Structure 1
Amino acid sequence: MRAFLALVPPLEVIEQLDDVLAPRRDALAPRGEWRWSRPEHRHVTLAFLLELDDWREEALVEAGQRWADRTAPTRLSLRGAGAFPDPGAARVLWAGVDEEVPGTLEHWARSLRALASRAGGRVDGTRFLPHVTLARSVGGPRAAGHLLQALDTVETSAWTAEEVCLVRSELGQGPGGTPRHTVLHRWTLARS
């Protein structure tokens, strides 16, 4: 299965993000050029598993629990925007993550990628940059500088990230051919 380990912002943060996105999206992004992420798909991916055999899920859940038992929650907010690979030829638009303790999520991502790999998952090793995906281009890269200028005003209230989720991702199985995301497990971060 395809899966990822992620932080899911609380509903009020997702609603704040939607309040900023709606007028900008409708005014600046012609229909059909961008596929905007559904609110229930907004998350911060810490580790993406290209493949995880179903029978290895239990080992991953156990390793994740040991990690969560020794990991303290952290405060985050969403702030600013960017594009992958760059604004001139964007495929993905994203909101940035502002960390109360800089580097925390990078450390978490390294640890979670390593434990997922040890549990038998095939882990994507691309460079980690904490973000929430807002939109994907349709039909190839697009210039997005005007969108990023408008989206740079994204700013949400802070929240405490107290749990990490293991999420199954089934491409094309959701509404309108979007992915279907199913939370398989939640680890509550225990150390304070």
Structure 2
Amino acid sequence: MSSRSASTPQGDLFGGPQPGRLHRLFFALVPSAGECEALRHRAEDLKAAYPQAHWVRPERYHLTLHFLCESDGPREDMIATARNAMQDWQPEPLGITLDHLLCLGNPKNPALTLAALHPSPATVAFWRNLQQRLLRAGFKQHVGRSFVPHLTLAYVPPRTAPVDVPPVVLHPQGVHLLQSIEGEADYARLGEWSLAG
């Protein structure tokens, strides 16, 4: 009989470490506190139309710019490379109008999002500027090739029909390097670069 306890983690039984928690690293725009409050009210107005939705906490509202990696545990090398890619960048102030409600992502668990179907030329140029910085830094397999600005309000059942919504205009204060960690309620904020005023 083995001397190991029956409660020994499976990873130990095979001589290796247990898999780490899933970490996702990405650049995003984060609404201001006032904008998050306005978006929370917008979500409240939609709850009657989507009684089965699972609503995102306002503290997690963001617009993803570029997704960088997914890994079991933190990737300090990629975090450092992402920070280095932002050196000497002074992005201009930006306004983004979200004027459509769309269901995006996994068809089995779609995200209900406020989105900009036709982003302004300035918004697209801003996104491409960051894209080029990340490509030069070596993120060739990770950087997105197209951009539909969107902010997730909730997750809804399949085949949910969006409704018309009034437009929301956001003026993000900075670009954030964020990391989501499996099981954690909040994002880890690993860097912020102010939009010059």
TM-score by length of 1: 0.73
2:172 and 2:92 map into 1 onto residues whose CA distance is: 9
For 2:151, the equivalent position in structure 1 comes to: 132
1:30 maps to a residue whose letter is P
Of residues 34-43 and 57-66 in structure 1, the stretch that sits farther from structure 2 once superposed is 57-66
Q: Is residue 165 from structure 1 mapped to residue 184 from structure 2 by the alignment?
A: no
Deviations for 1:61-104, whole angstroms, at most 9, x for unmatched residues? 2321323x2x2112234333111259x977121002488x8133
1:39 maps to a residue whose letter is P
For 1:183, the equivalent position in structure 2 comes to: 189
Point out the structure with max Rg over C-alpha.
Answer: 2
Q: Is the 8 A contact 2:30 2:175 kept in 1?
A: yes
The equivalences for 1:22-101 within 5 A come to 22-25=44-47, 27-31=48-52, 34-51=53-70, 53-67=75-89, 69=90, 71-84=91-104, 91-97=110-116
Question: Gaps spanning 5+ residues in structure 1: where?
Answer: 175-179
Deviations for 1:15-48, whole angstroms, at most 9, x for unmatched residues? 11221221421x23234xx322111111111111
More helix by proportion, 1 or 2?
Answer: 1
State the 1:114 CA deviation: 3.6
2:50 maps to a residue whose letter is A
Count of aligned residue pairs for this structure pair: 171
SS in 2 for 1:72: coil
State the 1:56 CA deviation: 3.7
Alignment match of 2:42 (pick from 6, 10, 20): 20
Q: Is residue 109 from structure 1 mapped to residue 127 from structure 2 by the alignment?
A: yes
1:7 maps to a residue whose letter is L
TM-score by length of 2: 0.72
1:163 and 1:9 map into 2 onto residues whose CA distance is: 9
Q: Is the 8 A contact 1:56 1:120 kept in 2?
A: no
1:188 and 1:61 map into 2 onto residues whose CA distance is: 13
Question: Gaps spanning 5+ residues in structure 2: where?
Answer: 1-22
